[in-house]
A = this chain, B = another copy of it.
Amino acid sequence: MVTLGDLAAHLGCEPGLADASIELDGIAPLGRAGPRELAFVSEARYLDALKSCRAGCVLLKSEWQADCPVPSLCVPDPYLAYARLSSLFDLLPASVPGIHPGAFVDASVKLPASASVGHGACVEADVVLGEDVVIGPGVHVGRGAQLGARCRIWPGVVLYHGVILGDDCVVHANSVIGADGFGFARRVDGWEKISQLGSVSIGDRVDIGAGVTIDRGALDDTLIADDVIIDDQVHIAHNCVIGRRTAIAGCVGMAGSTEVGEDCTFAGQVGVSGHLKICDNAHFTGQARVIGAIDEPGSYSSGTPLAPTKQWRRNAVRFGQLDALQRRVVKLEAKLEALGGAASDDE
């Protein structure tokens, strides 16, 4: 339970006319929030819903306050304010510091008293753990890996030997960081494995979803900069470099040695070829296929629109004849010109 006054203090704003002693138990969408719940309005299109709102308190912009029938807190960015307050309502108890009896921690590891290691976890030799680190049940931390303060590693994560995480990173369940990059040289009779001698180095405040794979580098390290956020089931191959604050949505795949700038966004299932440079502020829509360098900030797409399969099939067949169609049009233009028409402007 938190009070409206607590929320205002946390945001550094004034409770204004609202009663600071109002008690709140949770956050709920505007439409169903009750008197003990916080709600928020982030866009003007929700103002109608605001008028009939029954929440205990609403986060909103000051210009919308007149439309609000219940107590409110005025903030410049209500969505950001909601994000900042959300953790106050998270009821999950903090992890208990200490080593669970079912965990294995190598004798060489100097564990801070504030750190927690769960049942079944395995922390190998020479691992370095920061204050307040939480190593969940069943996590594996390979030899010599380093985790900064307050890193939270959820159950089943595997961090290979030598992997480095900065402070305040989160890695969700069953993600794998530092597995071998996919490097092989062709022999006549098969493939010669290339030992992946680099590692993975991850900055501060990096948030990694569940089921993610980030491979270790062949010679140099794979690098993830500060404040990068990565959704579930993303694959980042060896020697990629991801710039600060870049956001990567679910199921994106990135091939080896690609360098991504800062503040880029990748929507779900985007595929990126290897050895590319992508500039800052490049944005890719879902399933985009990125096979060349991107030098200009902006939004990029590929693919075709969804359509009923029968109709799609007709057009898809025509795609396979596009070059021929283009030639037919060129021929038509030439003939028409020969017949006396003037050449078109954009030929």
Q: Which residues of A contact B (CB under 8 A)?
A: 26-29, 77, 79-80, 82-84, 86-87, 89-90, 92-93, 100, 102, 104, 118-122, 136-138, 140, 142-143, 154-156, 158, 160-161, 170, 172-176, 179-180, 182-187, 189-195, 197, 205, 207, 209-211, 213, 215, 219-220, 226-227, 229, 231-233, 235, 237, 244-245, 247, 249-251, 253, 255, 267-269, 271, 273, 285-292, 296, 298-329, 331-333, 335-336, 338-341, 344, 346-347
A201 to B190 Cα, complex, angstroms: 19
A344 to B329 Cα, complex, angstroms: 11
Asked if residues B120 and A138 are in contact (CB atoms below 8 Å), the reply is: yes
A56 to B237 Cα, complex, angstroms: 29
- Given contacts A161-B92, A213-B233, A253-B233, is CB(A329)–CB(B335) below 8 Å? no
A330 to B322 Cα, complex, angstroms: 13
List chain B residues, Cβ under 8 A from A320: 304-305, 307, 311, 315
List chain B residues, Cβ under 8 A from A273: 267-268, 286
List chain B residues, Cβ under 8 A from A180: 170, 172, 209
A271 to B271 Cα, complex, angstroms: 12
Q: How distant is A335 from chain B, measured CB to nearest CB, in Å?
A: 5
Cβ 8 A contact of A87, one of B122, B142, B193, B341 = B193
- Given contacts A136-B140, A329-B325, is CB(A304)–CB(B304) below 8 Å? yes
List chain B residues, Cβ under 8 A from A232: 176, 179, 182, 213, 215, 235, 237
Cβ 8 A contact of A156, one of B158, B220, B227 = B158
Asked if residues B158 and A184 are in contact (CB atoms below 8 Å), the reply is: no
Cβ 8 A contact of A191, one of B245, B285, B321 = B245
Closest 8 A/B residue pairs (Cβ):
A83-B185, A190-B227, A158-B173, A86-B195, A179-B210, A140-B155, A318-B322, A299-B309
A28 to B219 Cα, complex, angstroms: 6
List chain B residues, Cβ under 8 A from A104: 100, 102, 119-120, 137
A321 to B219 Cα, complex, angstroms: 42
This protein's copies in its complex: 3
Asked if residues B191 and A207 are in contact (CB atoms below 8 Å), the reply is: yes
List chain B residues, Cβ under 8 A from A155: 122, 140, 142, 158
Output the nearest chain B residue to A125 by Cβ-Cβ distance. B93
- Given contacts A287-B271, A322-B322, A332-B333, is CB(A80)–CB(B186) below 8 Å? yes
Asked if residues A250 and B77 are in contact (CB atoms below 8 Å), the reply is: no
Asked if residues B207 and A184 are in contact (CB atoms below 8 Å), the reply is: yes
List chain B residues, Cβ under 8 A from A194: 82-83, 86
A298 to B340 Cα, complex, angstroms: 46
A48 to B288 Cα, complex, angstroms: 36
Asked if residues A341 and B344 are in contact (CB atoms below 8 Å), the reply is: no
Q: How distant is A233 from chain B, measured CB to nearest CB, in Å?
A: 5
List chain B residues, Cβ under 8 A from A255: 249-250, 267-268, 286
A14 to B249 Cα, complex, angstroms: 51
* Most B C-beta atoms less than 10 A away, residue of A104, A143, A176, A313: A176
Output the nearest chain B residue to A312 by Cβ-Cβ distance. B301
A335 to B237 Cα, complex, angstroms: 54
Output the nearest chain B residue to A294 by Cβ-Cβ distance. B306
Asked if residues B289 and A300 are in contact (CB atoms below 8 Å), the reply is: no
A249 to B160 Cα, complex, angstroms: 21
